[in-house]
Amino acid sequence: SQQGEEDPQALSIQEGENATMNCSYKTSINNLQWYRQNSGRGLVHLILIRSNEREKHSGRLRVTLDTSKKSSSLLITASRAADTASYFCATDDQTGANNLFFGTGTRLTVIP
Amino acid sequence: ETGVTQTPRHLVMGMTNKKSLKCEQHLGHNAMYWYKQSAKKPLELMFVYNFKEQTENNSVPSRFSPECPNSSHLFLHLHTLQPEDSALYLCASSQFKLGTGELFFGEGSRLTVL
């Protein structure tokens, strides 16, 4: 299936440090998205990057996409305790259908 | 508040019960989704509805029965579930277009099957 796979599974950093999470996927995509989930809550969309884009920024977030390696990374700069959450990448399957597939996520803990 | 409301937030049921999960979106979207989230597993896409028509059934057992009476409402009817069906069930909506845009999620319904 097209489900993405995030790496690492868990990440713990000090407040103010940068956090980098990686995502790999299997088949060609139209776009890749990153979502955040606070414990026991719904997912919240962070950023979408299209297959013809290589890098995108939104506030303290920086996303890169390498379609030749079928991988993406999410960088959160100057992390805050409030960034503590699970982060998921999600990909479509390029069929034209609006099916979106998620991985298991990276659990980020930012220590104050 | 994301504009997608799920009820109930928590549900405990026995294996012989029949219950339903409800999802309502106030965003004017035309696509709705059910996902299952179990511990240490990827989110599983269960069902997709576009313009009230089911376009995806990701090999979901028949004890889960979706219903989409209109573009704003989505139900998941549950019948004779198994303990391994205990999970967080997430509803989402989006504006359908070629390829997949941003999904808006509800807060989820935490289901426990005894």
Which stretch of A4-8, B22-26, B54-58, B64-68 has the lowest confidence by average pLDDT?
Answer: B54-58
More confident residue, B55 or B27: B27
CA distances from A99 to A38, B15, B66, B96 (A): 23, 30, 16, 10
Tell me which residues of chain B, numbers 70 to 89, contact chain A at a CB-CB cutoff of 8 Å: 88
pLDDT surpasses 60 at B88: yes
Q: With CB atoms and an 8 Å threshold, state whether A33 touches B102.
A: yes
Tokens at residue B54, please?
Answer: 């089911």
Who among B42, B48, B56 is closest to A3 (CB)? Answer: B42
Please state, as a whole number, how many other Cβ atoms lie within 10 Å of the Cβ of residue A56: 16
Chain B residues lying within 8 Å of A40, measured CB to CB: 88, 108, 110
For A85-96, what is each residue's pLDDT tens digit?
Answer: 999 999 987 666
Q: How confident is the model at residue A6 (pLDDT cuts 50, 70, 90)?
A: confident
The reply to whether A65 touches chain B by the CB within 8 Å rule is: no
pLDDT of residue B100: 64
Average pLDDT, chain A: 92
Q: What is the chain B residue with the closest CA to A48?
A: B102
B15/chain A closest Cα distance in angstroms: 24
Phi first, then psi: what are they for B84, rounded to 5°? -70, -5
